[in-house]
């Protein structure tokens, strides 16, 4: 393809927590890059997912869910990361749960009202909608509140209409040469991804509140041709949380480590030796300096 016909650009995936942004990105890439769970605030960082084909290079910005009502430093960080993704984008995908509008959707909408960037509304989770006529009131509300170029109902989980969404995105990207090498799929390194895989397994196995009070820090990462040796610390805010994560006779921590190791081996394509520790750091999620030390950089 020549520079005159090839398209490339940044596409921000934005929406409230747990609307399916990371699931959609994994589907668009055709492989798992971002961790996904059914719990809100699984995504904490802005992550690039890069897809290059003969027509275009699509550089997706997966963002944390934009939300209101939380005052901790980590929540402010996540909102800043998401809003920054909007500012950098050539196209914005505004993801909404097809089941209806929420107050947090309104929080996201406020960030989109005054931008000149093309906005494509993505109505996700249509596979769980018994009657698609229920989309009509939602579409009517959207047409009255946000300027968008098109609305696309999709199922990120099953892949319904995701190809159509990709075609639309390419149409709205600017023409130009690829920005990243063709084989590159993300801007994040294996060290970052290792921490995310550990955190994913913790979220899956813990109750509703505790996952948002823990962080994962990779303290040692050594990679050879056949083996990656990884030491990770799970930071929690009190001793009670530490006992919960370790579990009876260390069984929960062992299950977390085993499942995270398998995810790493599948993605890194080498054997992984993973060691986990749990340590207490009181108030880390509301401490800006502690967040920076754990990798939460604007």
Nearest to 48 by CA among 200, 216, 196, 189: 189
pLDDT, one tens digit per residue, over 157-193 is 999 999 999 999 999 999 999 999 999 999 999 999 9
pLDDT at 67 over 80: yes
Distance of alpha carbon 139 from its chain centroid, rounded? 25
Write down the pTM of the prediction.
0.92
Number of CB atoms found within 10 A of residue 39's CB: 15
pLDDT at 245 over 80: yes
- Residue 115 backbone phi and psi in degrees, to 5: -95, 155
Split at pLDDT 50, 70, 90, the class of 298 is: low
Specify the higher pLDDT residue, 145 or 86.
86
pLDDT at 96 over 80: yes
pLDDT at 221 over 90: yes
Distance separating alpha carbons of residues 148 and 166, to the nearest angstrom: 16
User: For residue 1, what pLDDT is reported?
Assistant: 47
Q: What average pLDDT does this structure show over 224-237?
A: 95
Between strands 91-97 and 47-52, the pairing is unpaired
| Average pLDDT taken over every residue of the chain | 92
pLDDT, one tens digit per residue, over 20-50 is 999 999 999 999 999 998 888 889 999 999 9
Domains assigned to the chain:
7-172 (3.40.50.300), 190-293 (3.30.300.20)
Nearest to 34 by CA among 179, 156, 128, 120: 156
Two structure tokens written together for 133:
């006529």
pLDDT, one tens digit per residue, over 199-213 is 999 999 987 767 678
């Amino acid at each position: 393809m020549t520079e005159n016909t090839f398209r490339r650009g940044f596409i921000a995936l934005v929406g409230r927590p747990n609307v399916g942004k990371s699931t959609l990105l994994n589907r668009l890439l055709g492989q798992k890059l971002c961790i996904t769970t059914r719990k809100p605030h699984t995504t904490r960082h802005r992550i690039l997912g890069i897809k290059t084909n003969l027509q275009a290079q699509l550089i997706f910005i997966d963002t944390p869910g934009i939300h209101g009502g939380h005052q901790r430093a980590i929540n402010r960080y996540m909102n800043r990361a998401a809003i920054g993704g909007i500012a950098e984008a050539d196209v914005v995908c505004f993801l909404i749960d097809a089941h209806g509008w929420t107050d947090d959707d309104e929080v996201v909408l406020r960030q989109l009202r005054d931008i000149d960037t093309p906005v494509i509304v993505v109505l996700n989770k249509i596979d769980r909608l018994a009657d698609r006529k229920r989309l009509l009131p939602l579409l009517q509300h959207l047409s009255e509140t946000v300027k968008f170029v098109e609305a696309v109902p999709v199922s990120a989980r099953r892949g319904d209409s995701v190809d159509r969404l990709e075609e639309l995105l390419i149409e709205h990207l600017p023409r130009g040469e690829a920005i990243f090498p063709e084989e590159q799929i993300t801007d994040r390194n294996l060290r970052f991804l290792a921490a995310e895989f550990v955190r994913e397994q913790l979220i899956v196995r813990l109750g509703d509140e505790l996952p948002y009070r823990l962080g994962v820090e990779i303290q040692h990462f050594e990679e050879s041709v056949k083996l990656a040796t990884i030491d990770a610390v799970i930071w929690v805010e009190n001793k009670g949380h530490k006992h919960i994560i370790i579990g009876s006779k260390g069984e929960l921590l062992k299950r977390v480590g085993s499942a995270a190791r398998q995810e790493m081996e599948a993605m890194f394509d080498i054997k992984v030796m993973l060691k986990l520790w749990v340590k207490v750091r009181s108030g880390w999620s509301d401490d800006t300096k502690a967040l920076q030390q754990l990798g939460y950089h604007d």
